[in-house]
């Protein structure tokens, strides 16, 4: 899932009602990867205890299945038009 924010800031995420482990990749306003964090399933998904936020301001965040891929810091995010996808 892609999250797009109006401006770069310290966005906060939690795992409420999420039953699968996820990774979150934070991106700066210039689409460069800032960090990747693992977000395990909470002991009580109805009342999550952990809050996840980027180490510096981020304008974009991408959630993916945990351990699906590793994105090196500095890698850039690219958007492809739907009609250009196979």
Q: Is residue 27 included in any domain, yes or no?
A: yes
Per-residue pLDDT 10s for the chain (86 aa) are 999 999 999 999 999 999 999 999 999 999 999 999 999 999 999 999 999 999 999 999 999 999 998 999 999 988 787 777 76
Q: Is residue 59 included in any domain, yes or no?
A: yes
Q: Is residue 80 included in any domain, yes or no?
A: no
Please tell me the distance from the alpha carbon of residue 1 to that of residue 24, in angstroms, as a whole number. Answer: 9
Q: Is residue 13 included in any domain, yes or no?
A: yes
pLDDT at 82: 76
Number of domains in the chain: 1
pLDDT at 42: 96
Q: Is residue 85 included in any domain, yes or no?
A: no
pLDDT at 86: 65
Model-level pTM?
A: 0.87
Helix (H/G/I), strand (E/B), else coil: 14: coil
Nearest Cα to Cα of residue 75 among 38, 34, 37: 34
What domain range is 66 assigned to? 2-71
pLDDT at 51: 96
pLDDT at 40: 97
């Amino acid at each position: 899932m892609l999250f797009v924010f109006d401006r770069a800031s310290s966005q906060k995420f939690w795992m409420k009602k999420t039953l699968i482990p996820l990774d979150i990749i934070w991106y700066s306003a210039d689409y460069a990867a800032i960090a990747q964090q693992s977000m395990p399933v909470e002991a009580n998904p109805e009342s999550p205890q952990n809050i996840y936020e980027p180490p510096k301001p981020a304008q974009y965040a991408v959630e993916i299945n945990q351990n699906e891929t590793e994105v090196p810091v500095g890698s850039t995010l690219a958007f492809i038009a739907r009609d250009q996808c196979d």
